[in-house]
Amino acid sequence: MPPLHNPEGQVLPPQYGDAPPSPIPDYEREVSRPNSREKGWNVLRTPGTYFLLAVNIAVFGWMVLTGVSPSDPPRDQLLHFGATNPDLILHGQWYRLFSATFVHVGLLHIATNMWCLWNLGLLGEPLLGPLGLVAVYLITGVAGNLLSLAVNVAWWHDYVSVGAGASGAVFGIAGILIVLLSNKKLPIPLVELKRLRRSVIQFAVLNLVIGLGTVFTNIIRIDNFAHVGGFLSGLALGVPLVPRMTSGRTRYLRRQKWTFGAAAFLLTLFGYFIAKLR
């Protein structure tokens, strides 16, 4: 199995071709077994990944068809389609924490985010299941937006900024993969396990550094706190899942439900705390 990235540094999904099935565990079995990836796109094998891609692309297409600029959408149009704004959120529009994860600021923005989501989703969905992947996307995306909101309100006293994009959720998926791939009980050769995990770590570190580097330029504004919030929440979600990854589907599903439910509750409390900061 080749590494997750090519010599040019692009993050790539594992390619199996005619080789033996991948040792990534199959979510559907009591004892995890390899899952293969046929040549070409196979939506049925990773429906969660393609569902998230479809929703993001559909929202962007809807925006463009209704007259939004595909290269430089204005602030008011982004808000119309669900982007975040501290003032609007604190006045009751909390749904923006979710909706903003499907709104993008131009074609380049969505293209880069969807490329990363596709690669990480194909690797992560066999470990999480389709519903688990979607849950991680939403939870970590909201967590990133909440951290950004808290910083804007408590630190910068900024109530007018607008935020959008799936990157916080993408970092969240990378974070949980780093933890899940640390499980040495997975039926995968240790050298390949380390290679996959190292590739995801390199992806996360490189993109965090790029994001931080934009702080010193005026070329593009990246919400680094949304990235950090998504990444840290992804790491946290992975910790309680690791012990149940190879203990059977029923126990693993139960642990997922408890973990994701507890995370949603904690995020609700965090949102309540932020609302009191105003």
HEC sequence for 28-90: CCCCCCEECCCCCCCCCCCHHHHHHHHHHHHHHHHHHHCCCCCCCCCHHHHHHCCCECHHHHH
What is d(CA 59, CA 152) in angstroms, rounded to the nearest whole number?
26
In this predicted structure, what is the pLDDT of residue 42? 76
pLDDT for residue 107: 97
Per-residue model confidence (pLDDT) at position 170: 98
Q: What is the mean pLDDT of the chain?
A: 87
Across 40-54, average pLDDT: 89
Q: C-alpha angle 2/188/4, rounded to 5°?
A: 25
What's the pLDDT at 13?
37
pLDDT value of residue 44: 86
Whether 177 shows a pLDDT value over 70: the answer reads: yes
Domain segments of the chain as ranges: 22-275
Burial (Cβ within 10 Å: 0-12, 13-18, ≥19) of residue 274: buried
Q: What six digits make up the tokens of 265?
A: 């509750």
pLDDT per residue as tens digits for the range 73-124: 999 999 999 999 999 999 999 999 999 999 999 999 999 999 999 999 999 9
Collapse the DSSP code of 25 into the 3-class scheme (helix H, G, I; strand E, B; otherwise coil) and give the result: strand
Instruction: Tell me: pLDDT of 262 over 80.
Output: yes
CA distance 168 to 215: 17
* Position 48, amino acid: G
Q: Is the pLDDT of residue 2 over 50?
A: no
Average pLDDT over residues 167-172: 98
What is the number of other CB atoms lying within 10 angstroms of the CB of residue 92? 8
What pLDDT score was predicted for residue 77?
97
* % of the chain beyond a pLDDT of 90: 78
3-state secondary structure of 225: helix
pLDDT attached to residue 218 = 66
Task: Give domain 22-275's CATH superfamily.
Answer: Rhomboid-like (1.20.1540.10)
Using pLDDT thresholds of 50, 70 and 90, give the confidence band for residue 201. very high
**pLDDT for position 199:** 96
**The predicted structure's pLDDT at residue 8:** 37
Instruction: Please give the pLDDT value at position 109.
Output: 96
Note the pLDDT of residue 219.
64
Q: Does residue 22 surpass a pLDDT of 80? A: no
pLDDT of 28 > 80? The answer is no
- pTM of structure: 0.86
Model confidence at 221, pLDDT cuts 50, 70, 90, reads confident
Tokens of 120: 């990480």
pLDDT more than 70, % of the chain: 85
How many Å apart are CA 233 and CA 221, to the nearest integer? 22
